[in-house]
Amino acid sequence: MPKHVYVLKADLAGFSRVNRTIAVRSDQTLVDVHLALQAAFDWDDDHLYSFWLDGKFWSGGGDEYTHPWHANEPNPLGAFWIGPVPQSAEISLDRLGLSENQRIAYIFDFGDEWRVRLTVRQIIADDGQPYPRLLKSAGDAPPQYADYEEIEDVA
């Protein structure tokens, strides 16, 4: 089967003018999408993340794909997940049945909850270029962490 490329627009929730457009080859995985988003928004890859293919954050009814270490694990209370158990993000995009205009929800860092709304803008033929890659960047992404050195000591 010939490879193709997914062009994904990534809108950073809460920051209306901050978005990125990335391209990922169909034989690459959601882990590759995650890493491309990390680079595009200048984030450190030091937290868990999940994708929901129904486009809804924390959806209990949609297909959730999460950090490979976190997938298929019991929750911290020893019981299993409420709802479907998340699957590993180490799945190739060509196995997901993605379509143009499909929306995908992505959360990075379950504590700070950086929310990104992904939209499949195009599915195009593979042109042999290296992927994943950043195609377009709009707006300055906020820093991943607050600059604690700038916070005054009020004690």
pLDDT tier at 80 (50, 70, 90 boundaries)?
very low
Sort strands 114-125 and 103-108 into parallel, antiparallel or unpaired: antiparallel
Q: In the prediction, which pLDDT does 67 show?
A: 77
Determine how many CB atoms are found less than 10 A away from the CB of residue 8: 26
Full-model pTM = 0.85
Q: Mean of the pLDDT values across residues 91-110?
A: 96
Q: Mean of the pLDDT values across residues 15-31?
A: 96
What is the total count of domains within the chain?
A: 1
CA-to-CA distance for 34 and 32, rounded, in angstroms? Answer: 5
Q: Mean of the pLDDT values across residues 87-111?
A: 94
Is 69 within a domain? Answer: yes
Q: Which domain holds residue 58?
A: 4-150
pLDDT at 103 over 70: yes
Is 155 within a domain? Answer: no
- CATH no. for residue 12? 3.10.290.30
pLDDT at 144 over 90: no
